[in-house]
Amino acid sequence: MSMFNPVDRLRRSARITIALYRISQAMNYLLRERGKVRGLSPAQIQTLLFLKYARPGVRTIGGLADRLVVSYATASDVADALERKRLLQRNPLPTDQRVVMLALTEQGEHESAMLEDVLDEIENAVAALPDTDQEALVRATQSIIRYLQVRGYVKVYEMCWGCQFFRRNAHPDDPRGPHHCAYVDAPLPEQNTYLECPDFTPIEPERT
């Protein structure tokens, strides 16, 4: 079966797959066009947004390679290019000089702020749908993403609030943070709970 063959698009699942493909083409187009304006490649745009929103511990070349789903060498090349543009800097970890962390420079922070709205047109199209359609889309797309995630085609980064390992207000008086991550068994300051984490594991929907 081939969803690219128009005859096969009589199947509903093929029509939906083609629709998702077209949406991904539109996203790539928007990233490329913004990149032309800002002088950045789509990978560089994704890197700047990754460094802005990812959990601090994963802001490394390895973490970037995971996020972009590319090799370590390719991620390193992307970081080099951003470093040359003075948007990114490499900082050895104070507690272990062998570990190099990536961070946005002030200019990089500014540049990433200029990229925030790159996919707004897609959200505008979604926001125009009736509530019931949006709710159905949330359920359906989450289920598709879970299927793809289990097979290793996509890595999902999400923030703590919907994660199985998140223990809200586990130790409210702890100066290191009131919440707790049971995955790494460490306290979580409030602001870190709004960052994206590759270890995010969704809360299982309740079975009835």
- Tell me which residues touch ligand SF4 (CB under 6 A): 160, 163, 165-166, 181, 183, 197, 199-200
Distance CA 48, CA 43 (A): 9
- Tell me the closest approach of the beta carbon of residue 151 to ligand SF4, in angstroms: 21
Kindly tell me which of 53 and 165 has the beta carbon lying closer to ligand SF4: 165
The percent helix, strand, coil of the chain (3-state, each to 5) is 55, 15, 30
Kindly tell me which of 50 and 200 has the beta carbon lying closer to ligand SF4: 200
- Tell me the closest approach of the beta carbon of residue 157 to ligand SF4, in angstroms: 9
- Return phi, psi of residue 24, to 5°: -65, -35
Kindly tell me which of 130 and 172 has the beta carbon lying closer to ligand SF4: 172
Q: At what angle do helices 72-84 and 61-68 cross, to 10 degrees?
A: 110
- Tell me the closest approach of the beta carbon of residue 85 to ligand SF4, in angstroms: 30
What tokens appear for 79 in the block?
A: 């970081």
What tokens appear for 1 in the block?
A: 């079966």
Distance CA 87, CA 119 (A): 21
Kindly tell me which of 50 and 166 has the beta carbon lying closer to ligand SF4: 166
Q: For the stretch 22-38, what's the b/e string if a residue is b when 16 or more beta carbons lie within 10 angstroms of its beta carbon?
A: eeeeeeeebbeebbeee
What's the first-to-final CA gap in the chain, in angstroms? 35
Per DSSP bridges, beta strands 96-104 and 88-93 are: antiparallel
- Tell me the closest approach of the beta carbon of residue 177 to ligand SF4, in angstroms: 11
- Tell me the closest approach of the beta carbon of residue 130 to ligand SF4, in angstroms: 31
Distance CA 114, CA 179 (A): 32
- Tell me the closest approach of the beta carbon of residue 186 to ligand SF4, in angstroms: 8
With CA atoms as reference, report the closest residue to 102 among 70, 54, 159, 158: 54
Kindly tell me which of 136 and 203 has the beta carbon lying closer to ligand SF4: 203
Kindly tell me which of 3 and 159 has the beta carbon lying closer to ligand SF4: 159
Q: For the chain, how long is the longest CA-to-CA vector?
A: 63
